[in-house]
Amino acid sequence: MIQRNPCIANIKAGYLFPEIAKRRREYAAAHPDAKIISLGIGNTTEPILPHINTGLTEGARRLGTVEGYSGYQDEGILVLREKISTVFYKTQFAANEIFISDGAKCDIGRLQLLFGAGVKIAVQDPSYPVYVDGSVLTGAAGGWTGNGYAGISYLPCTAENNYFPNLDLIPQNGLVYFCSPNNPTGAVANKDQLATLVEAARAKGSVIIFDAAYSEFIRDPALPKSIYDIEGAKQCAIEVNSFSKPAGFTGVRLGWSVVPMELKYESGQSINADWSRIVSTIFNGASNIAQAGGLAALDDDGLKEIRSLTDFYLGNAKLIRSALEKLGISCIGGDNSPYIWAHFPGRDSWEVFSQILEKCQVVSTPGAGFGPAGESFIRFSAFGHRNDVEEACVRLSRLK
Ligand code: PL4
């Protein structure tokens, strides 16, 4: 009989977000009258705004015409790639350095094909689980040790280091996943910090995969929205980004990755050329309708809508953070990011998750699901309808 891929056996049962959804379903089944509010999974709730939505519907309409029809567009529609370079990177990238995807998570999963199972991995701890789980699935990390996966360098991000890790822990010739604004802590690295990250990666011959999925939530103009705001990053970093959160495209599916021409392996070969080969081999491009919506999102009216949608979620974040702080719970995040990271010292985070669900009928995300340093924290997501968030804030006072 065919054998199971041993890497799958290495992965802990249950990916974090389906596990939370399962616990919510179980609670709902046992309490059919409960009106549960989710501040758990970071899933957008508000309708796509009119200008961007017209981009999507127009894209669909054009497909029904001879002049407007288009088929496969493997690496993405050229004008969208050019527009992304203009809007986000001050035109510093050519279209062939920008690859349109069906979302940041999908590219995070595929990017490891560039480096193979032997590559050493470092992640911020806590971090978005896909970096670690994806590494286990490709064989770059081993089995669960009881406190993390074998072969992963966890870089703790705690209050003591102001949520920016000790870069001495970055492996030689490895892959470093870095997310800013950070999921789950909501912390945003400043320019000096990112400059030290780039310097450390270059000194160690490592590549950074910089996840900027929440960059449009940054309001402080001094904070960098892209790793390419930093000198030298083109030689050591790939950036992934997404329309999911800023444009409400979590269900539409559209993102991009930047793989600069300057980025090379030790052998001097081009990482961009390999990524192009991988994308054209195992990915057939994002939906042309989604890309039409993406184009609309990046013109003047679309960018205003992105601002207004992200402002709305940041408004939710402010309410949640202030409700928690009124209870004396220490928090970070929520000001330049849609996540609030709340500390419950000495407590087991799954146990706090259950307590919040039972006392408040509010779903959150236990910090331990994001890595060992997430223990005793809870992540609250600001994605929700305003009346639900207001109601959740009232109910959270039951935690007193
Ligand atoms: C639940 C740092 C959320 N089922 O939509 P994408 O693929 O363009 O982007 C996904 C993504 C990428 N990078 C970061 C993210 O936080 C996310 C989305 N994360 C969350 O609650 O942490 C949604 C999670 C979804 C998932 O597994 O991604």
What does the pLDDT look like over 162-179, one tens digit per residue? 999 999 999 999 999 999
User: 3-class DSSP state for residue 241?
Assistant: strand
φ/ψ of residue 110, rounded to 5? -80, -30
| Ligand 1 pocket, CB under 6 A | 17, 41-42, 103-106, 128, 179, 183, 211, 213, 242, 244, 250, 255
Residue 318, number of CB atoms within 10 A of its CB: 15
Q: CATH number of the domain at 6-48+302-399, please?
A: 3.90.1150.10
Mean residue pLDDT across the chain: 97
Distance CA 266, CA 248 (A): 39
The pLDDT of residue 376 is above 90: yes
Q: Is the pLDDT of residue 13 over 80?
A: no
State residue 348's pLDDT score. Answer: 97
Q: Is the pLDDT of residue 48 over 80?
A: yes
Give the pLDDT of residue 368. Answer: 95
Residue 114 CA: distances (Å) to CA of 106, 166, 360, 376: 14, 26, 45, 35
Alpha carbon nearest to ligand 1 atom 21, residue: 42
Q: Which atom of ligand 1 is nearest to the CA of 184?
A: 22
Q: How much of the chain, in percent, has pLDDT values that exceed 90?
A: 97
Asked if 356 and 362 touch (Cβ cutoff 8 Å), the reply is yes
- List, in order, residues 6 or more apart from 117 with CB less than 8 Å away: 138, 139, 140
Nearest protein Cα to ligand 1, atom 16: 183
Please name every residue paired with 256 in a beta bridge, in sequence order, or none if there are none.
Answer: 100, 241
**Count of all residues that appear for the chain in the document:** 400
Per the CB < 8 A criterion, the answer to whether 76 and 291 are in contact is yes
Distance between CA atoms of 125 and 375, rounded to whole angstroms?
A: 10
Look at ligand 1, atom 23, and give the residue with the nearest C-alpha: 42
- Given the candidates 1.10.150.130, 3.30.428.10, 3.40.640.10, 3.40.50.300, the CATH classification of the domain at 51-299 is 3.40.640.10
Domain ranges in the chain? 6-48+302-399, 51-299
Least confident of 6-10, 57-61, 88-92, 268-272: 6-10
pLDDT digits 0-9 by tens, 208-231: 999 999 999 999 999 999 999 999
> Whose CA is closest to atom 27 on ligand 1?
17
Residue 57 burial by CB count (10 A; 0-12/13-18/19+): exposed, middle or buried? middle
Q: How far apart are alpha carbons 138 and 10 in whole angstroms? A: 10
Count the helix, strand and coil residues of the chain and give each as a percent rounded to the nearest 5.
Answer: 45, 15, 40
pLDDT digits (tens, 9 = 90+) for 116-144: 999 999 999 999 999 999 999 999 999 99
Complete DSSP assignment for 61-101: HHHTSTTT-----TT--HHHHHHHHHHHHTT-S-GGGEEEE
Whole-number percent of the chain with pLDDT over 70: 100
Q: Which ligand 1 atom is at minimum distance from the Cα of 242? A: 8
Contact 81, 101 (CB under 8 A): no
CA distance readout (Å), 395 to 15, 31, 199, 313, 391? 28, 17, 46, 19, 6
| pLDDT at residue 74 greater than cutoff 80 | no
| Range with lowest mean pLDDT among 12-21, 61-70, 215-224, 266-275 | 12-21
pLDDT in the model for residue 147: 87
Given a contact cutoff of 8 angstroms between Cβ atoms, the answer to whether 45 and 386 are in contact is: no
d(CA 241, CA 111): 13
pLDDT tens by residue, 289-302? 999 999 999 999 99
pLDDT band at 14 (very low <50, low <70, confident <90, very high): confident
